[in-house]
Chains A and B, each alone.
Chain A
């Protein structure tokens, strides 16, 4: 599904990605983990073409994505911070995104009901709370039927019920055979959802494999300690 070769990215003097080689197969949930500033968002934004790498290739289904834009029809992306134009109403925003992706079917009605957003449809986005904005963000992400779904910190600001509904939503999408990439700092969420994890450290891939493999590698009984173990040993 996604092939990344030798990816480098520098912002000014700050070398964020230092040669990432990664292959993600079709179908399943993959978690991209790493401490703050390890390059997770940069990696995701490179896949989306928002960040332009200094060197290296990114291929989606065997095709190089650099300079292209049509391939984004195949991707649903949930940005980390829900920044929306404040003077639009929720309804207008949803219709606008639908209009921009015309040609694909949008399933927004069922999602609006799932996240109880009906009463917010006529409100302006600048008047919404952080959690409600994140729900709108989720509706915009999941309303299209694309084979690749990228979620950057999807749980931010969600209440427990919405959190549960989000998990169900991700699992239904997975059951349809989709590829789902998630970044998150909430380890219990990752442990529950992800089948395979990719651990980034200082712009390189430190570990790729299943959660059990990580536990055996670090000789820790549970996932949270395994991650903590990587972070402490790498610092020393």
Chain B
């Protein structure tokens, strides 16, 4: 698997898109710092951007890479390499290069601004960790969609729909149900509903750490009340890890049965 990962990773590192992505984050970091002129404020603004954009880029990039590397995959399938190694290697290649662009692109401006001497260093690292988790999750979901659809257009369609659902529609449905069922105790419901959306989960995770109750929202507040800050952090991180592990497991199973 490591060999495939190596080839996928270097292949991506040579492609234009990794640089575009990297430069985008570099620019974002610089602009945010320039406008806010304050590290912890910049971290909060950044959170809102990351939580929406990282999943979008992870899904699109994942689907795109799967379809464009089909030839490479076909070549590998006839070689003495384990099937799961081929696909997991490619998956980690994509996820790794995306995560690196994110971490280095955002990291550089903040390092030069003096993040290491600031109190916001832990908040910032948590932000990057969450961004990495979101990349891993949404790239895996994108691979599942691409594996299930031979048709590229369909695959892209479903991928965008997935992102739209998780980033926008889910919250809307969630809020609507909260208003509709306001006469009932909704603590448990909202807790569980948050767990089922990695984007919400990441938001709660970061806000718990930042400790800004005004921004926590209903779910965040319930989360904090229910688990307390530190247990809440552990549980939400654990859930994010599950969100990575389960899709990878699904990829593993799908790949075993697929014909090429």
Contacts and interface: CB of A to CB of B under 8 A. Distances in A.
10 pairs of A and B residues whose beta carbons are closest in the complex: A83-B71, A72-B80, A85-B72, A73-B80, A77-B78, A51-B259, A50-B260, A69-B82, A50-B77, A100-B79
Given A51-B260, A73-B80, 15 more contacts: A11-B259, A48-B78, A49-B83, A50-B259, A69-B83, A71-B80, A77-B78, A79-B75, A84-B71, A84-B72, A87-B14, A88-B11, A99-B3, A100-B3, A100-B81
10 contacts: A49-B83, A51-B259, A70-B80, A73-B80, A84-B71, A84-B75, A85-B11, A87-B14, A100-B3, A100-B81
Contacts of A85: 11, 69, 71-72, 75
Interface string B1-42: 001000100010011000000000000000000000000000
A1 interface: no
A69 B3 CA distance: 16
B117 interface: no
A11 B258 CA distance: 11
Nearest to A72: B80
A50 B256 CA distance: 10
A22 interface: no
B81 A69 contact: yes
Contacts of B75: 79, 83-85, 97
A45 interface: yes
Contacts of A11: 259
B256 to A, nearest CB: 8
B242 interface: no
Contacts of A77: 78
Nearest to B85: A69
Interface residues of A, number: 27
Contact of B80 (A51, A67, A69, A86): A69
B14 A97 contact: no
Contacts of A84: 71-72, 75
Given A51-B259, A52-B259, A87-B14, A79 B80 contact: no
Contacts of B69: 85
Contact of A101 (B74, B79, B257): B79
Contacts of A64: none
Contacts of A186: none
B257 A52 contact: yes
Nearest to B257: A52
Interface string A46-62: 00111110000000000
B108 interface: no
Contacts of A86: 71
Contacts of A73: 80
Contacts of A79: 74-75, 78
B27 to A, nearest CB: 26
Contacts of B14: 87
A160 to B, nearest CB: 28
A73 B82 CA distance: 12
A100 B76 CA distance: 9
Interface string A90-124: 00000011011100000000000000000000000
A87 B78 contact: no
B78 to A, nearest CB: 4
Contacts of B70: 83
Given A84-B75, A85-B72, A45 B260 contact: yes
B77 A48 contact: yes
Contacts of B72: 84-85
Contacts of B260: 45, 50-51
A96 B260 CA distance: 21
A51 B259 CA distance: 4
Contacts of A69: 80-83
A72 B74 contact: no
Contacts of B258: 52
A45 B3 CA distance: 24
